[in-house]
Amino acid sequence: MISSKEAMKLILDELPIFSNEKINTLQSVGRILKEPIYAERDQPPFDRVTMDGIAVCFAALQKGVDQFTIANTQFAGDAQTTLKDDNYCIEIMTGAILPKNTNCIIPVEYIQIKEGIALVDKNYQPQKLQYIHQQGSDHQKHTEALKIGHKIEPIDISLILSCGMKQILVSSDPKICIISNGNELVAAGDPILPHQIRMSNGPAIMVMLEQQGFKNSQYIHLVDDKDIQKEVINNHLTSSDILILSGGVSMGQADFIPQVLQECGVKNIFHKVLQRPGKPMWFGIGPKKQLIFALPGNPVSTLTCCRHYVIQALQQAYGRNIFVNEYAQLQEEITFKANLTYFLPVKIINSENGILKAYPIETNTSGDFASLIGTDGYIELASEPSLFKKSESLKFYRWKMP
């Protein structure tokens, strides 16, 4: 059986390159940028006034002039006007272009205006170029503002729009089909018999992907019938980029999935991983190089394997160029002797001294998903050593990958 690290490597070796698409900038949060964004103009695009007040020529102030006749008023959005005489000033508003022949702004708080004349406060000490955000001082025209591979956040939207880009090139949303399996499963809302179980894995995988920005997915549920499974999987192999199955991958007599996948022309890359939860995990490659993940059906296993393998792989395939590694300090000693990587759910507290503290929440079994409620993610306990000390720092994975 292979280790969790080897499993991840084998998946990453098979990553497809998703195609790109042009979308509205406003729809692009969470997507990965596939073209560099360049500054459309200098930023600021002109010498930009940053206070309401008057624009004057600094030389006049140096000569001792302390009252200026208002020549005209210039608002933000107005075309640039020109100061024709040093004894005059131009009333000016925040955001306006600096008038020609002026190089100093005196804020409105430090002047008094009477009969068209602005009087500068005796105690105010103006400085040349003060309250002027100079053209190009943030960045210059054609500067690369955002790189390919950048994951787009709301704060980036301002910048992209200010670069004049109404539409941008991002990686396309792959078509994902989620297929859960099992005769025992009954959807919420439907009548249920004592020996049956509520269906939850398919929907949970779908919303987990959605939260990560993968919104082009559907889920279907199949009973444990080889012929039906084969037909449906075959159909989705022609129409989907990614298949995620849950259930039907263990050793049971109704666990047809590995066999059905093979019969559908899916090449198995690995089956079973030295990990808890999720040991029976299966991974393969479809005839058109699709990624095919078959996750164990126990809810904790499904969620953990989905977060750990599926989402990391998709984000990588999506082209993200920064992955954030997180670490947290274990808050109780853990002994774990099995030769397995243990993904242990934790609550995280970011203490007032800036340290991330991980409080383990051991689940009753891998079916005990109620224990997951309130956990923030899981820490990774390597297969060796078997004793993990209090305050030891360990790799931490948020359920919601940052």
Residues 168-207 that bind a copy of itself (CB under 8 A): 182-185, 187-189, 192-201, 203-204, 206-207
Neighbour tally for 319: CB within 10 Å: 20
Shortest distance, position 4 Cβ to a copy of itself, whole Å:
19
Q: Which amino acid, residue 329? A: Q
Q: What is the CA radius of gyration of the chain?
A: 31
Neighbour tally for 185: CB within 10 Å: 22
Q: Which amino acid, residue 179? A: I
Residue 370 DSSP code: G
Site for a copy of itself in 129-158 (CB under 8 A): 133, 137-139, 145-146, 153-158
Which x/- pattern over 355-394 shows residues binding a copy of itself (rule: CB under 8 A)? xxxx-----xx-xxxxxxx-x-----------------x-
Number of residues that bind a copy of itself (CB under 8 A): 114
Shortest distance, position 284 Cβ to a copy of itself, whole Å:
21
Chosen residue from 36, 116, 164, 385 binding a copy of itself by CB under 8 A? 164
Shortest distance, position 266 Cβ to a copy of itself, whole Å:
22
Shortest distance, position 252 Cβ to a copy of itself, whole Å:
4
Strand-pairing partners, residue 329, are 357, 393
* Nearest residue (CB) to a copy of itself, 19 versus 259: 259
CA–CA gap between residue 315 and residue 294 (Å, rounded): 18
Under the binding rule (CB under 8 A), the answer on residue 255 touching a copy of itself is yes
Site for a copy of itself in 320-359 (CB under 8 A): 324-329, 350-358
CA–CA gap between residue 33 and residue 160 (Å, rounded): 11
Shortest distance, position 51 Cβ to a copy of itself, whole Å:
8
Shortest distance, position 87 Cβ to a copy of itself, whole Å:
22
Chosen residue from 162, 234, 316, 386 binding a copy of itself by CB under 8 A? 162
**Pairing mode, if any, of strands 377-381 and 341-350?**
antiparallel
* Nearest residue (CB) to a copy of itself, 157 versus 228: 157
Under the binding rule (CB under 8 A), the answer on residue 239 touching a copy of itself is no
108's tokens = 């409105």
* Nearest residue (CB) to a copy of itself, 85 versus 210: 210
CA–CA gap between residue 124 and residue 137 (Å, rounded): 26
Residue 208 CA, chain-centre distance (Å), reads 13
Burial 376-385 (b: 16+ CB within 10 A, else e): bbbbbbbbee
Neighbour tally for 153: CB within 10 Å: 10
Site for a copy of itself in 259-278 (CB under 8 A): none
* Nearest residue (CB) to a copy of itself, 87 versus 211: 211
Site for a copy of itself in 43-102 (CB under 8 A): 43-46, 48, 50, 52, 73, 75-80, 91, 93-97
Site for a copy of itself in 19-38 (CB under 8 A): 25-26, 29-30
Residue pointed to by tokens 């190009």: 136
Residue pointed to by tokens 């808050």: 331
* Nearest residue (CB) to a copy of itself, 64 versus 191: 191
* Nearest residue (CB) to a copy of itself, 21 versus 326: 326
- Please give the angle made by the CA atoms of 334, 336 and 340, to the nearest 5 degrees: 135
* Nearest residue (CB) to a copy of itself, 239 versus 373: 373
Chosen residue from 126, 286, 297, 319 binding a copy of itself by CB under 8 A? 297
Coil, helix or strand at residue 393: strand
* Nearest residue (CB) to a copy of itself, 242 versus 285: 242
Q: Which helix (H) or strand (E) holds 293?
A: strand 291-295
Nearest to residue 230, comparing CAs of 268, 206, 258, 249? 258
Q: Which amino acid, residue 114? A: K
Do the beta carbons of residue 341 and residue 274 sit within 8 Å? yes
Shortest distance, position 19 Cβ to a copy of itself, whole Å:
24
Under the binding rule (CB under 8 A), the answer on residue 161 touching a copy of itself is yes
* Nearest residue (CB) to a copy of itself, 19 versus 112: 112
Under the binding rule (CB under 8 A), the answer on residue 227 touching a copy of itself is no
Task: Find the DSSP H helices in 83-199.
Answer: 154-162
Chosen residue from 11, 34, 104, 224 binding a copy of itself by CB under 8 A? 224
CA–CA gap between residue 17 and residue 237 (Å, rounded): 17
* Nearest residue (CB) to a copy of itself, 286 versus 297: 297
